[in-house]
Structure 1
């Protein structure tokens, strides 16, 4: 590891949206808020009757509701004794717009259908969701404000963690295991630690008196004198690496002391596997299984099984079979395994455990939203997160967290900056804790991976080599986790089987769903043949829309192709929208 330190459930059915012709601006950016309370802000054109006459405005809204009903469900239409949907005006705003509200809760698809129907009135100039704002949850920790905001905030290189906090995600109730050097007694970290374990089964590496594993997980130091690890090895100071990693995940926050943790209401189980000269693979593998709640001979049961494991460690070799088996066991128990990609500026496939299947492999990015030059790369990297590039200086070149100033043995607790994929990985592990804390039900490891990759934002500076799906976006990942599992409608596509798309009028859409198995190398969605003009949008476990998609194809005509490399297991949705009437079109999904 490079360490640079400086002081201080699904309903499947076909669905079409009726055709609505309109030139009004339609803002779908806050469409999720319309599923909470279906309120919209409408601007009617100057001089129109709808703008000044309540009766004319209500007639327009009633007509729009009638246009929208064919694309909505029975509860909206008003069948089986339910009251039909009605839209009415609440009030006029200070700037001359009108706030309107639907009489029933709506799904995302229903809200979009209704908005487009209202926008079809030629006297409507614009319509937007009446977005819901939330209290700013900015903690009062001084190091957050002075040093950590670049990697937690909304700047060019930030992971948007502060926005996720504002949405109410704190990691409450989630346990994260940190398999590392253990943890030191730091007052800004220790309150969020659960009892851990020292897994090092060799006194020469552990610095303890015996080879026995012991409770606690405390870091005794990994520094060693010259020649200790092998002939000619230089002397080294202790890194207190696990303390830094654990602080990034769950440093005590909003106590007006030090900095903040990504998931500050989560709890960390520190597991010590790295000591002087490193750590044994056999000890690490046992720690992985134990952390997830699995059984390890000679070890007591783990009273705090982790939903997330962070491993900011690795070696320059391919994934070992025993390590893969341990990871598979953890994943089978529902634990998401997050691993640092490594810091050798080389292909991640030559590094373990970052190259092992069933892990989320994390590269590093810098203050400018660029790939950190030391970060490993390649198709095996799932996404990147702030790790500090070092080149921006102090503080923006580093990731800031809890540490200790002891040379070899623990001494005084401090705060310090490090760089490395070791620092990027706990950002992702912390965000996984945020996601699990807001999800309606526990997310499986494969879903977590898919949501993280689908929500990642593009690099500001495009990397010259493959570096995953983009940079971690905590706010978008948390939003997807909140909405995961909401019923969606879509016409199922059988992989590699061509089928005909129904004719679409201008403005109409059809949604398809493809079930992708574990281990797929690529997913390709194609429309072709026929006539008309189409646009296609893709999303993972969520409805695709122009303002919310992971990929799109908007070429002229009907031939649209969307390719997704290394798709996560789960459901991918594709929305095809006709901007000009289309017929005779064929559609196909390939899963390789």
Structure 2
């Protein structure tokens, strides 16, 4: 099939003779005759505009009306910059490089790549030429046009021109000055997440953050940004609204009489951190001035069930949930300011990991709080694979005293409160939120309330992820994680996290740095490798997964922290090494540079922990109806590891506590198979240990009768000893 577009007039095939002299270039044709014929036929049959039909027949968009210049905005452009390669010296000597034919050739190259007619506006200092597109296009589309131009013969490079404006963002919300987590990096506290800097380039337009929590309340400083989701509380006893699951995610109050706790209005608070109405002269500002929240209820009075949370995660991402209407507004990001007791393994709660996997497969980022117990473990869902686990830091950048910390923490975000290590430099300022004055049910809304915790830190990370999604919806959850961790700021030198490597993740979230990484077009790098701790003397591979940027890429790996290991593949995509024998934490870093010399750095922690070993027993005997209580024993080669036990299999009624106490209050006769595992604090397990339990019929009479015989036997022995003396 013939091309309708005229060929370049000067190229390597016809630009010169063998003697090096320039040939006379043929006159350019406006179009192939086939194009003109096709246009005329269409014109006669449809009476449409000839000019538009001509360009349509040639497979091109009609040239723009240059009399009305398009208006660019931040995030779009109307211009492309093209640098053509210099002609050969003999061509320049004859003055032909500035000829009309060369000008036409260059315009044709640029127009063919843009798939519309372009006009050169002016030249830059280095000889690059600025072309007007005639309409405003998004930066991603402009990059695609530039990439096609760069692929043309004779083009050195092409890139979008970028619209700039005054570097200022102002908010008139009454309490904005007290929101240290949003402040500019240079003007705010050390712990700021720099959202006000990021807003120059992205405000979350089109992004939806699902806040799965206690539900939502109507509030004048938030309601216009809320999408009503669903109430997933299935337990009538804690629902507080008179029924189970329903389409109303309102928060009736989560007060807990057994713990003497008033209602928290937690869902309202977390939603306001993410998306309170900005610049409206009242209340506070949310981290997403143009984003919205999807309100989903999964917690009732005193708490909720993890299974309800799992369904809420799946539904929020757009998955079907039995008995629940479909979600017409799936979230871009899911924020979970909730959690189980620390140390639980997600592998033991397959339904939860399945829900997380379903969300991630749909491109939804899942963010969860690490927990507020101040221990070296995280709860669920934060402990599930693929979840961004968020710790909390203070306004002065120290880890908050209450924040859980471990190798499972991805990064930290503003949570406020007391410092764990800083003393005189500690800033304990809390997090400003919207609230309600009600102790049981809702009463009077508050434009300012205060909170803190890893709960508060979580919606800040979710909002940062949503900003990135609003810039490029194609970013995967893994790429979002890589951007957030790769641009995180280092904790201050006097902080706990600076002294205790590997417990606080990549650093403090920096929304502005992450947004700028997307805008720059630099490669987005995530490091794939083991999802959990690995034993000593294990062969491990880490791979740099690269998106965006321009191939080919160069790689440079190094080990940043931990006992030195021998690295193989320092300049390859995949790094190989063998872990040290002893328990340790290793930090690796890769620098990836694309062909345009844009570089991105990403880091990955690896925890080395050796598995515990259950010492026994492997066989047990008991009597029917007589209570059984046995302490299981285990050892761990890593000094100081805390070991916990879990029962994988066994008869109903038999339990194994985390400390290893096996109990059965009323054993039933028969031979029973019991399977237990021991795990250290890093999640490394012993593997299954099988115990065979044989329960005999005994003398009958049940447990009380058996205990009576034992008592009589003891008295008889005592009497016999007295008689002997």
Structure 2 residue 433 is the aligned partner of structure 1 residue 405: no
Alpha-carbon distance change, 191 to 393 in structure 1, aligned in 2, over 3 angstroms: farther
> Are residues 219 and 476 of structure 1, via their aligned partners in 2, closer, same or farther at CA, if it must alter by over 3 Å?
same
SS of equivalent to 1:252? coil
Match of 1:417 in 2: 450
Mapping 1:125-524, distance limit 5 Å? 132-145=164-177, 147-154=178-185, 155=188, 156-167=190-201, 169-211=202-244, 213-225=245-257, 233-316=258-341, 317-319=344-346, 320-349=349-378, 351-390=379-418, 397-414=429-446, 415-439=448-472, 441-460=473-492, 461=495, 462-465=498-501, 466-484=503-521, 511-512=553-554
- TM-score normalized with structure 1 length: 0.63
Q: What is the distance in 1 between the residues matched to 2:425 and 2:224?
A: 31
Cα distance per residue 1:352-401 (max 9 Å; x no partner): 11111011111111111222122111221111111113469999621111
Instruction: Tell me, yes or no, if the aligned pair for 1:523 and 1:565 is still in contact at 8 Å.
Output: no
Separation (CA, whole Å) in 1 of partners of 2:512 and 2:362: 27
CA displacement, residues 448-498 of structure 1 (integer Å, 9 cap, x when unaligned): 11111111111123152420111111011112233458899xxxxxx989x
- 2:19 maps to none
CA displacement at 1:542 relative to structure 2: 6.5
Work out whether residues 314 and 358 of structure 2, in 8 Å CA contact, stay in contact via their aligned partners in 1.
Answer: yes
* Change in CA separation of 1:416 and 1:295 when aligned onto 2, cut-off 3 Å: same
Contact 1:378 1:467 survives alignment (8 Å) = yes
Contact 1:221 1:240 in 2 (8 A): yes
Could you list the per-position Cα deviations for residues 533-566 of structure 1 after superposition, in whole angstroms to 9, with x for gaps in the alignment? xxx99446977979x6426xxxxxxxxxxx7436
Superposed counterparts of 1:94-133, under 5 Å: 102-103=128-129, 132-133=164-165
More relative contact order, 1 or 2 (CA 8 Å, 6+ apart): 1
The 3-state SS of whatever aligns with 2:179 is helix
CA distance in 1, matches of 2:568, 2:215: 44
- Contact 2:553-2:593 within 8 A present in 1 as well: no
Q: Tell me, yes or no, if the aligned pair for 2:394 and 2:427 is still in contact at 8 Å.
A: no
Cα gap change, 1:543/1:455 in structure 2, threshold over 3 Å: closer, same or farther? farther
* SS at 2:199 equivalent: helix
**For the structure 1 residues 314 and 437, does the alpha-carbon distance in structure 2 shift closer, same or farther, using more than 3 Å as the test?**
same
Structure 2 CA distance for aligned equivalents of residues 370 and 428 of structure 1: 17
Partner residue, 1:69: none
Matched residue SS, 1:453: helix
Distance in 2, Cα, partners of 1:190 & 1:481:
30
SS at match of 2:442: coil
Q: Residue 313 of structure 1 contacts residue 340 of structure 1 at CA under 8 Å; is this kept in 2?
A: yes
- Distance in 1 between residues matched to 2:324 and 2:373, nearest whole Å: 35
SS of 2:247's equivalent in the other structure is strand
CA distance in 2 between partners of 1:537 and 1:160 (Å): 24
Cα deviation per residue 1:64-104 (whole Å; 9 max; x = unaligned)? Answer: x99xxxxxxxxxxx999548999x997xxxxxxxx767336
Aligned Cα root-mean-square deviation (Å): 4.4
CA contact (8 A) 1:38 1:101 kept: no
1:307 Cα offset (Å): 1.0
Distance 1:420 1:140 in 2: 26
Instruction: Give the direction of change, closer, same or farther, for the CA distance of 1:132–1:192 in structure 2 (3 Å limit).
Output: closer
Q: Distance in 2 between matches of 1:425 and 1:192?
A: 19
Q: Which of the numbers 576, 601, 607 marks the counterpart of 1:550? A: 601
| Distance across 1 between alignment mates of 2:402 and 2:322 | 39
Quick check: 1:484–1:541 contact (8 Å CA) kept in 2?
A: no
Distance in 2 between residues matched to 1:80 and 1:381, nearest whole Å: 58
Question: How many Å apart are 1:525 and its aligned residue?
Answer: 5.4
Describe the superposition over 1:168-189 as per-residue Cα deviations: whole angstroms up to 9, x where unpaired: x111111111110011111101
Matches within 5 A, 1:535-546: 538-539=590-591
1 CA distance for matches of 2:79 and 2:601?
A: 24
For 1:272 and 1:476, locate their aligned partners in 2 and report how far apart those are by CA, in whole Å: 32
**What is the DSSP-based 3-state SS (H/G/I as helix, E as strand, rest coil) of the residue aligned with 2:238?**
helix
Number of residue-to-residue matches in the alignment = 424
- The whole-number CA distance in structure 1 between the counterparts of 2:601 and 2:430 is 30
1:12 is matched with none
Structure 1 runs not aligned, ≥5 long: 1-31, 40-61, 67-77, 91-98, 111-128, 226-232, 489-494, 498-509, 516-521, 529-535, 552-562, 568-592
| Aligned equivalents of 1:323, 1:485: Cα separation in 2 | 34
Q: Is contact 1:386–1:424 with CA below 8 Å preserved after alignment?
A: yes
Offset at residue 338 of structure 1 (A)? 0.6
1:589 matched residue in structure 2: none
Q: Secondary structure at the match of 2:272?
A: helix
Match of 2:709 in 1: none
Q: For residues 480 and 514 of structure 1, what CA distance do their matches in structure 2 show?
A: 19
